[in-house]
Amino acid sequence: MGLLTPDPGLVIWTFFTFLLVLFILKKYAWKPILHAVKVREETIQFSLEAAAKAKKEVEKLEQTKTEMINEAKAERDVLIKEAREIKQGILEEAKSKAQEEANKILENARVLIEREKNEAVQDLKSKVAALSVDIAGKLLEQELETTDKQKAIIDSALKEVNFN
């Protein structure tokens, strides 16, 4: 049967053509393509590994950063707390001191006033005594005259008195 009989001419042409194609493609197509693909695969592999490594490093850095931030925060809190305490202390001390001072000043003022008052009273007393004696002298002077006159004397005497 013709269909199953190989044709030597076609076999020979196919042989040469196929070998030629095989060698040309091997040199100019398969080698460059396969090599480039291999290089690319290796590059990708390498890049992926490098990326994973970098990611790990970044994570580590991130962790360190977080730790540092937390530490700083804690330290800040402590500092703020201390500062607040110190402020409170200072304020209280200042307050108590001011109070003390104010009390002292008040006390001094009171003492001074007391003293002044006493002095004034003393002064008034002595003046009143002198005035009383004076009035009594004038009264005694006028006893002998009319009662109306005496009354007028007392009034005039009183008018003369200046209590200051």
Partner 1 sequence: MRQILQVFLFSLVLSVCQYTLAEDSSNKHEKEFDPLEMISHHISDSHDWHIISYTNKADEHVNISMPLPVILLHNGKLHFFMSSEFEHGNAIVQKGDAYFKLYHNKIYLTNANGDLEFDAENHPKNEHPFDLSITRNVGSMWLSVILILFLFISAAKKYKGEPQTPKGLQSIIEPLVLFVRDDIALSQIDKHKIDKFLPYLLTVFFFIWINNLIGLIPIFPGGSNLTGNISVTMLLALITLFITNVNGNKGYWKHIFWMPGIPVPIRAFLAIIEFIGIFTKPFALMIRLMANITAGHIIILSLFSLIFVLKSVVIAPVSILMGLMMFMLELLVAALQAYIFTLLSALFIGMAVQEDEH
Using CB under 8 A, list all residues that contact partner 1: 2-15, 17-18, 20-22, 24-26, 28-37, 39-40, 43-44
Nearest of 87, 63, 83 to residue 75 by alpha carbon: 83
Least CB distance from residue 32 to partner 1, whole Å?
4
Least CB distance from residue 18 to partner 1, whole Å?
7
- The C-alpha atoms of residue 63 and residue 128 are separated, in whole angstroms, by 94
Least CB distance from residue 47 to partner 1, whole Å?
10
Q: Give a three-class secondary structure readout of 92-145.
A: HHHHHHHHHHHHHHHHHHHHHHHHHHHHHHHHHHHHHHHHHHHHHHHHHHHCCC
